[in-house]
């Protein structure tokens, strides 16, 4: 198991700058953000320009990772593949194919994305649509030796009422998406706040957990008594991602039992990358604090890994 980090938390830095810093801090792998860089959100960082990615770019990227002794664990483009706007959905599909092409050129085994959801339709209607939309993408990736990863993020901010906006948030839905030959980028933080014990989900689905996110979550149950699990209902005009009773934290500052998680991953035979996904508002806001948060995550997780 390698300890890595998702580069999206440092959108203002170049991949070269992140690689140099991460290697110096002891990180072993990078999960590289490859959004087009047009969305303006922190998690839409563009650390590789995958559109038109060719041999020259592939050689330069390989040389960079070799220089710093890092592994490129996956490319990250987490977008809504069931977006209700046909034009936006096609843009997403096109960019996802670019990401797959770049991964193939780099011999990177995984590209991460979301199932997503059309929030105007029921879950059943969305699943039927996904069974039409997703298989061609899986086939495109498979022909190039790449597997598509789906993160189990709830993406509640995509839904106008705070309901799940990514139909991959529970083991029930994992079983469905595995039937489409998708794999899981497993993240315990999302499971924790929706009431699922993350540790109990590892062994039954170990064969499909090929990459893992290391993100923590701080729960405030007393605040939940006002809104319930799905957050504010009367007024969601502010931050649609603020559910009012929980927030993401870097590993070690929330409720996730990391010693038990890592131990169970080892027991299940996991040999992939445990990739820190930094979305902690306390250790965020500027480059210095983000890096301090990544240092906290490293100090929490590194002693738990063998070697």
> Tens digits of per-residue pLDDT, 182-232?
999 999 999 999 999 999 999 999 999 999 999 999 999 999 999 998 888
Ranges 9-18, 47-56, 195-204, 231-240: which has the least confidence: 231-240
Ranges 64-68, 116-120, 203-207, 236-240: which has the least confidence: 236-240
Average pLDDT over the chain, rounded to whole?
95
Looking at residues 81-105, what average pLDDT do you find?
98
Whether pLDDT at 121 is above 90: yes
- Which residues contact residue 136 at a Cβ distance below 8 angstroms, ignoring those fewer than 6 apart? none
HEC secondary structure over the chain: CEEEEEHHHCCCCCHHHHHHHHHHHCCCEEEEEECCCCCCCHHHCECCCCCCCCHHHHHHHHHHHHHCCCEEEEEEEEEECCCCCHHHHHHHHHHHHHHHHHHHHHCCCEEEEECCCCCCCCHHHHHHHHHHHHHHHHHHHHHCCCEEEEECCCCHHHCCCCCCCCCCCCHHHHHHHHCCCCEEEECHHHHHHCCCCHHHHCHHHHHHEEEEEECEEEECHHHHHHHCCCCCCCCCCCCCCCCCCEEEECCCCCCCCHHHHHHHHHHCCCCCEEEECCCCCCCCCCHHHHHHHHHHHHHHHHHHCCC
Q: Is there a contact between 200 and 210 (Cβ–Cβ < 8 Å)? A: no
Residue 40 pLDDT: 46
Q: How far apart are CA 76 and CA 297, in angstroms?
A: 20
Q: How far apart are CA 92 and CA 86, in angstroms?
A: 10
Global pTM reads: 0.96
Confidence of residue 295 (pLDDT cuts 50, 70, 90): very high
Q: How far apart are CA 262 and CA 259, in angstroms?
A: 5
- End-to-end CA, the chain: 9
Domain ranges of the chain: 2-304
Residue 238 pLDDT: 80
Q: How far apart are CA 279 and CA 42, in angstroms?
A: 9
Over the stretch 24-50, which tens digit does the pLDDT of each residue have? Answer: 999 999 999 999 975 445 457 899 999
Over the stretch 163-179, which tens digit does the pLDDT of each residue have? Answer: 999 999 999 999 999 99
C-alpha dist (Å) from residue 74 to 80, 178, 254: 18, 19, 26
| CATH hierarchy code of domain 2-304 | 3.20.20.150
Structure-model confidence comparison of residues 273 and 307, the more confident one: 273
Looking at residues 145-156, what average pLDDT do you find?
97
Looking at residues 69-80, what average pLDDT do you find?
98
Q: How far apart are CA 70 and CA 188, in angstroms?
A: 25
Residue 265 pLDDT: 98
Q: How far apart are CA 109 and CA 76, in angstroms?
A: 12
């Amino acid at each position: 198991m390698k300890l890595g980090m998702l580069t999206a938390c440092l959108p203002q830095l170049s991949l070269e700058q992140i690689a140099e810093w991460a290697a110096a801090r002891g990180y072993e792998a990078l999960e590289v953000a490859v959004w087009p860089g047009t969305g303006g959100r922190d998690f839409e960082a563009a650390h590789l320009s995958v559109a038109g990615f060719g041999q020259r770019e592939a050689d330069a990227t390989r040389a960079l990772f070799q220089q710093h002794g890092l592994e490129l664990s996956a490319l990250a483009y987490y977008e809504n593949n069931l977006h209700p706007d046909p034009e936006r959905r096609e843009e997403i599909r096109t960019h996802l194919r670019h990401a797959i092409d770049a991964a193939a050129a780099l011999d990177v085994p995984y590209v991460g994305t979301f199932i997503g959801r059309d929030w105007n339709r029921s879950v059943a209607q969305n699943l039927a649509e996904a069974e039409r939309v997703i298989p061609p993408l899986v086939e495109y990736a498979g022909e190039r030796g790449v597997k598509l990863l789906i993160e189990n993020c709830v993406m509640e901010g995509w839904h106008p009422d705070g309901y799940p906006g990514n139909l991959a948030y529970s083991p029930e839905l994992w079983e469905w998406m595995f039937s489409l030959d998708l794999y899981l980028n497993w993240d315990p933080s999302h499971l924790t706040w929706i009431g699922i014990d993350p540790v109990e989900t590892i062994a039954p689905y170990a064969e499909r957990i090929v990459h893992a996110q290391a993100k923590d979550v701080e729960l405030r149950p007393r605040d939940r008594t006002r809104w319930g699990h799905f957050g504010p209902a009367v007024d969601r005009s502010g931050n649609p991602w603020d559910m009012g009773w929980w927030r993401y934290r870097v590993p070690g500052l929330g409720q996730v039992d990391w010693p038990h998680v890592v131990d169970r991953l080892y027991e299940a035979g996991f040999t992939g990358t445990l990739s820190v996904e930094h979305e902690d508002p306390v250790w965020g806001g500027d480059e210095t604090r983000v890096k301090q948060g990544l240092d906290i995550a490293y100090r929490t997780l590194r002693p738990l890994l063998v070697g």
